[in-house]
Amino acid sequence: MSNANQFRHKGRFAKKSIINWKNNISKSAKKLKEEYKNLGVQLPNRQRIVDLDKLAAEMWCTTCDWPLSFRFLIQEDICGVASVFHLKCPKCKEIRLVKSSASEGKSTRSKYHVNFKLALVVLDGGIEETQLNTILSALNLPPVDHNLIKRYERLVGPATETVTKENCHDALKVEEELKILNEG
Q: How confident is the model at residue 107 (pLDDT cuts 50, 70, 90)?
A: low
Torsion of CA 53, 59, 63, 66, to 10 degrees: -120
- pTM over 0.95, yes/no: no
Tell me if residue 29 falls in helix, strand or coil: helix
Contact criterion met (CB below 8 Å) for 76 and 86: yes
Round the average pLDDT of the chain to a whole number and report it. 82
Q: Which residues pair with 84 in a beta bridge?
A: 77, 99
pLDDT tens by residue, 111-151 = 888 888 888 888 888 888 888 888 888 888 888 888 888 88
Q: CA-to-CA distance for 70 and 139, rounded, in angstroms?
A: 21
Q: Mean pLDDT, to the nearest integer, of 2-29?
A: 77
The alpha helices in 40-81, defined as continuous H runs, are: 52-58
In sign, the C-alpha dihedral spanning 28, 61, 108, 100 is negative
Q: Given a cut of 80, is residue 103 above it in pLDDT? A: yes
DSSP state of 41: -
Q: Given a cut of 60, is residue 43 above it in pLDDT? A: no
Q: Given a cut of 70, is residue 12 above it in pLDDT? A: yes
pLDDT tens by residue, 151-181 = 888 888 888 888 889 999 899 999 988 888 8
Give the H or E element holding residue 136. Answer: helix 129-138
Total H helices, total E strands in the chain = 5, 7
